[in-house]
Structure formats: C-alpha cells, structure tokens
Structure 1
Amino acid sequence: MKLSIIILNYNSSGFTLDCVESIRKQTQRIDYEVVVVDNGSRPDDFERLLILTELPCLNVVRSQVNLGFAGGNMLGLQVADPASDYYFFLNNDCVLLDDVGSRLVAFMEDNRSVGVCTGQAVNRDGQHEPSFNYYPTLSGKWLGHGLKRWFNPTDYRPRWQPYSEPVEVPVVTGSALFVRATAFWQVGGFDPAFFLYCEEEDLCRRLRERGWKAMLVPDVRFRHLGGGSTRRSLQTEKEYYISLFYYFRKNENGFKLLLLQLFYTLKVGRKAFTSRHFAHLAWFILRGAPGRESLRYWQGLPVIARPLGARFQSTHSFQTL
C-alpha cells in the first residue's frame, strides 16, 4: 500500500516543520510520501520550508495565491504519486502521537466499506478533543442535537465521549482526514468552491451518498495544537458562513434555505446589542452570506518564488486544479 500525506502551509512554517518531524518519527510500517503545499505564504515564511526539500520522499509545491483548504489540497494531489492507495490530509498544527498512517491503512484494508476515517484528537494538554461532527441540518439546528439523538443515535453520537472501539460517525474532522483514494475520486475529491470551512461535511456527505462509511478509530491518536494559520476575526467568521450557506445551497431546497438563514440571523443577531461585531455578522447572514465577499478575493499580487530545482514546484494558476 502507498500513502500520500498532504499538508498545507500558510504563514505557519514552524507548525509545518514540527508536523513533518512527527510524521518521520512515527511512521514506520508503510510506504509513504509527504507533499507540503505552501498556500501563498509570505516569502520569509516560505523560505523556512526549504530545508524540507533535502528530505527523501518529500515534495514542496508553492502556490502564488492562497487556494484555500480544498484548492490547496487538490493542488497537492497534482504532485502526489498517482499510484497512492490512500490520502491523509493533515493540518500542519497537528502532531502524530502514534504510527497513524500505518494503522489507519491497516484499518481501512480490514474494513473495505469504509471510505474515510480519522484518529482520536487530543489537545495541547493531552485531553480529549472531538474528532467528528454532525451534518448541519435544519432539524438539528431547530430541535437540537440532544433531541435528534433519540431518533438517530448513529448520526448524533456524543462528540465529547471517549470511545474505546471504532464507531461510525457522520463527518470526520478535517484536521486529520484519511480517505481511500478510489472513494475520493469516485465523488470528485474536494469541491474547491469551499475556501476555508465545511469541506469535510461536503466530502463525507458525497461519500455517504455513494455508500461509503465514515469511521472514528479512537486508539490512533494525534495532538491538535490549534491556531496554525487561521486567526478568529469578523472576516474569518464571515468566511465560515459563506461556506456554510454554499453547503446549504448545494443540499437544501429554497424553503429550508430560507429557514436556515432566519435561524442563523436570529442566533447571531441576539448578540447585536452587545457588539457591533455581531451586528455586522447578522446583517451579512441576512444578505445571504454572499460569496463575493470571501477572503479568496482579497489577495494581493502573487509573490514570485525563485526556482529550487526538480523537488520544488511553483504554480500561480487555479487551472492546475
């Protein structure tokens, strides 16, 4: 079996170097490669990644603009080994605590109906962190996940509960998303229209529609440090709702979309009297979270990277996707 590990870097090279070091230390029993995608970082941050080009089985590809999570990972696959059996999309603010790659490959080989899985995340202090999520639905938002659990326990397992055995879940975390290559391409991979959020919900939903299961494998662990490249701000919160409502437009009818828009406007709007931040955000949602205001379109001129030889590749075009 061959595994391709894809890591995105955006102005957070320190996290990336630590992530790669943990992969090289922990991964022992699988043929693997690492592809690091620099997603339009500052020149000084990108320069710190150049040491990686000296390592075996590791490629660095640079985009001159930020392609987002979905676009950046799809770019990484353009230089990954086309013969790979599995892909591991790993956030750069994660550190492997076990031989995650080998053990998840073994699990997937033993469970041929599983299309995507993940291990168990722990936080900086080694405490349990949820590694899966629920599909965003109208009924879940209006009724609450606790009530929905009575009717559909598989899709609404308690997220904070520790599990000792593999369990089927709706959506695995995008921080450490391990997917079977044949299943991934069967559904067309990531949708690059998503820029920062909801990519895993969209992918897991399309995999489920094709009959593939999503699983949590709790005895395989990784540490999720958080804060690798995205800082919370009004604009990043707007970005979340842009992705969320794009997901809803793909999967819900017009009436449900209207009710969801009302729900989120009221949810955020009730805090509008305490902060202009929430007033701006509620108005943004009421306007339909228009994609034209995405961070995707706020980028300046691309930074021209100097060539580094065969092990480094640079691109500036969305057409590579």
Structure 2
Amino acid sequence: MNPRKVSIILINYNSHQFTFDCVHSIVEKTKEVDYEIIIVDNNSKNADYEVLKSITDQSRVQLIRSRINLGFSGGNMLGVQFADPLADYYYFLNNDCVLRTDVCSQLTAFMEATSDAGLCGAQMFNGEGVRQITFGYLPTLGSKILGHGFVRMLHPEIYPPTKKVYTGPIQVPFVMGSTLFLRASAFNKIGGFDVAHFLYVEEEDLAKRLLIAGFNTYLVPQAEYVHFTGQSTSRNYDVDKEYYISLFHYFRKYHSWPARALFRAYYFIKNGRKFRQDPIYGKLAWFIGRGSPMRESLRYKQTISSEKIIP
C-alpha cells in the first residue's frame, strides 16, 4: 500500500532562520510517510524573503509569497490552496518549531487507527527541553466563573488535567495551535480555518467546529516537538486586543447573547482589576466594555505590498 501523504504548511513572517531550522528537522525526522512542505511567506520584508528562496532547492518544498499579511488562519488557508488535493492529512506547524521525533509518521499512524479523530497534536517542549502544557479547555461560563478546578471535579472526562504527564493518547478539548495535525477529509468538510480569526483562538474554533461535525481532538504524547516561543515578555496593546477580538468572535458564534454579556463582564472585571499593575489592562478593560469590535482588528491595518516579487 502506498504511504499516506501529509501536506505540511508553515507560515514565515520575517523569520527565515526559524523556517530553515523547522524544515531541516522535518526532513531529518520524517521517515514513514510521504510528505510535501508548503511555506507561505506572509508578506515579509524583501530581504527575508530573498534569503528564504534558497530553501526551494529541496524537491519537496514549495515557497509561496503573499503580498499582504493574511494572519494565521488566512496564511494557512492560502497554503492549503497549493497543497496536494489528494493529501490524506494536513499538518499546520509553526515555523518556530523543530521536531524531536518522527511526528508526521506517529500522528499519521494514530489517525489511521482512530476513526473518530479529526485533529491531534504532539507533546510540546520549550527551548530548554522542559515539557509544556499542550492542550486547553474550550471557554465556557462555568469554567470562567467557577474555575477549572471545580468544573474538573464535576466533569473529569471533559477537563483532563493539563499539567499531568501522559504516556498514551488522550482525548482533549483542543490542542495548541503551534502543531495542528488534521484529517484532510474532516478539515475539508468544515471548510478549514475561519479566516475571521487573524491571530489567536483559531485552535479552539477549529476543535469546536470539528466536534460539532462529529470529530474529536487528541493529544499524542509519544510524538514530541520543541516550540521556541515566549522569549519576550513585553506587552503590546494591539496584539493583546487581537486576542479579545478573536475570543469574542468565538463567543458570538457559539454562545447566546446573555452568555456573551456575562463573558464581557467577566473579562472587563478581570482586566480592570489589574490596571494598577499595567495601564494596558485598563485599556483592555475599556476595549472589552465597548464590545471588542472586529473593525479594530489588525487585519484591517494590513496593506498590500507594491514591491516586485522576484521569482
């Protein structure tokens, strides 16, 4: 039988060295499946893109450049347009990751053996080799108001402990967006990512829509990768705002207006109480109080590049 085909999609934005290292780890580790790598350059500076072009010397790699920053969801959906339409699986992998094991083969084997799985993820480690929390809970009023500890006692099957070291696959609410391995037929059925999410909450929305369509999400801890993230602790108001824009877009899709009002009150108070710690929290509280309007998304601040793209 022919090996399964995995289309691996990476987004590059002014970070070519991360992309080089990520691709190298994929080529080095992947042994048991057929694969292709599609790199979407999300309107990086010309200098970064020019350096990145050398990566296409490898036969399995395509490089596509967008003239506008499409964000996470939009960039990945552009990559899907260039993927093999007969691929069995899509692997959306952050470019600031490297594989520690043969992740593609391991996750493919798991999906082949688990018919209800639409999405799965590998176990994440940080740059120092420390195991990281790799899955989370879909936001509900109960978990926000009563706390995760309380709802976990009531529904342990829905809220498995996030800090536990797992030795085998476990069904989880959603896996972190740095590594999203999807059954192509399930992904295609739900129409892929919701591109209204420019940054953040894409993985929650994806898992929720898959669940509605009858597919579950799993963590497969035997597969391991490193995510080089969180190196900077500086805050950015526009980026912080984007999280709440995406979060409340999610709430508008899946929750009633009374629930959304309670969510707004919860996050307004949560941020407002911390304004003495950092004035940004006060600004965020006011932004949430105004309804976290989508029109203020970074999506609408992007411009189309007029630079000539040299193939």
**TM-score, structure 2 length as denominator?**
0.96
Please state whether the residue corresponding to 1:36 is helix, strand or coil. strand
Match of 1:157 in 2: 160
Q: Is the 1:155–1:169 contact (alpha carbons within 8 Å) kept by the matching residues of 2?
A: yes
Taking the aligned partners of 1:187 and 1:242, their CA distance within structure 2 comes to: 22
Please state whether the residue corresponding to 1:129 is helix, strand or coil. coil
**Equivalent position amino acid for 1:217 in 2:** V
Q: Is the 1:35–1:58 contact (alpha carbons within 8 Å) kept by the matching residues of 2?
A: yes
Match of 1:41 in 2: 44
Match of 1:246 in 2: 249
Taking the aligned partners of 1:231 and 1:251, their CA distance within structure 2 comes to: 32
Q: Is the 1:92–1:228 contact (alpha carbons within 8 Å) kept by the matching residues of 2?
A: no
Equivalent residue in structure 1 for 2:135, among 132, 136, 156: 132
Taking the aligned partners of 1:102 and 1:2, their CA distance within structure 2 comes to: 10
Q: Is the 1:135–1:170 contact (alpha carbons within 8 Å) kept by the matching residues of 2?
A: yes
Distance change >3 Å, CA 298–CA 231, structure 1 → 2: farther
Shift of residue 24 of structure 1? Answer: 0.6
Distance change >3 Å, CA 228–CA 86, structure 1 → 2: farther
Q: What is the CA deviation profile of residues 41-78 of structure 1, one whole-angstrom value per residue up to 9, with x for unaligned ones?
A: 11111112101111111101111111111110000011
Taking the aligned partners of 1:199 and 1:40, their CA distance within structure 2 comes to: 20
Equivalent residue in structure 1 for 2:305, among 302, 306, 312: 302
Match of 2:86 in 1: 83
Equivalent residue in structure 2 for 1:226, among 205, 226, 229: 229
Taking the aligned partners of 1:18 and 1:32, their CA distance within structure 2 comes to: 17
Q: Does 1:106 align with 2:109?
A: yes
Match of 1:283 in 2: 286
Q: CA RMSD of the aligned region, Å?
A: 1.5
Shift of residue 229 of structure 1? Answer: 11
Equivalent residue in structure 2 for 1:32, among 32, 35, 43: 35
Distance change >3 Å, CA 230–CA 302, structure 1 → 2: farther
Taking the aligned partners of 2:306 and 2:284, their CA distance within structure 1 comes to: 31
Taking the aligned partners of 1:133 and 1:39, their CA distance within structure 2 comes to: 27
Match of 2:201 in 1: 198
Please state whether the residue corresponding to 1:274 is helix, strand or coil. coil
Taking the aligned partners of 1:224 and 1:23, their CA distance within structure 2 comes to: 14
Match of 2:190 in 1: 187
Shift of residue 299 of structure 1? Answer: 2.1
Shift of residue 306 of structure 1? Answer: 2.3
Unaligned 5+ segments in structure 2 are: none
Shift of residue 111 of structure 1? Answer: 1.0
Unaligned 5+ segments in structure 1 are: 309-321
Q: Is the 1:239–1:294 contact (alpha carbons within 8 Å) kept by the matching residues of 2?
A: yes
Of structures 1 and 2, the one with the larger relative CO (CA 8 A, separation 6+) is 1
Taking the aligned partners of 2:234 and 2:163, their CA distance within structure 1 comes to: 24
Match of 1:144 in 2: 147
Please state whether the residue corresponding to 2:292 is helix, strand or coil. coil
Distance change >3 Å, CA 77–CA 301, structure 1 → 2: closer
Equivalent residue in structure 1 for 2:126, among 123, 126, 135: 123
Please state whether the residue corresponding to 1:278 is helix, strand or coil. helix
Taking the aligned partners of 1:207 and 1:229, their CA distance within structure 2 comes to: 33
Please state whether the residue corresponding to 2:53 is helix, strand or coil. helix
Shift of residue 228 of structure 1? Answer: 8.9
Taking the aligned partners of 1:229 and 1:176, their CA distance within structure 2 comes to: 21
Taking the aligned partners of 1:73 and 1:92, their CA distance within structure 2 comes to: 12
Taking the aligned partners of 1:73 and 1:139, their CA distance within structure 2 comes to: 32
**Equivalent position amino acid for 1:166 in 2:** P
Percent of matched pairs sharing the same residue: 49
Q: Does 1:214 align with 2:217?
A: yes
Please state whether the residue corresponding to 2:156 is helix, strand or coil. coil
Relative to structure 2, which stretch is displaced further, 295-304 or 156-165?
A: 295-304
**Equivalent position amino acid for 2:99 in 1:** L
Please state whether the residue corresponding to 1:128 is helix, strand or coil. coil
Shift of residue 231 of structure 1? Answer: 7.2
Q: Does 1:292 align with 2:289?
A: no
Distance change >3 Å, CA 216–CA 64, structure 1 → 2: same
Taking the aligned partners of 2:243 and 2:153, their CA distance within structure 1 comes to: 29
Taking the aligned partners of 1:260 and 1:126, their CA distance within structure 2 comes to: 36
**Equivalent position amino acid for 1:267 in 2:** K
Shift of residue 138 of structure 1? Answer: 1.2
Q: Does 1:9 align with 2:12?
A: yes
Taking the aligned partners of 1:307 and 1:112, their CA distance within structure 2 comes to: 44
Q: Which runs of 4+ in 1 moved over 3 A?
A: 227-232
Q: What is the CA deviation profile of residues 244-294 of structure 1, one whole-angstrom value per residue up to 9, with x for unaligned ones?
A: 000000011000000000000000000123332111111011101111111
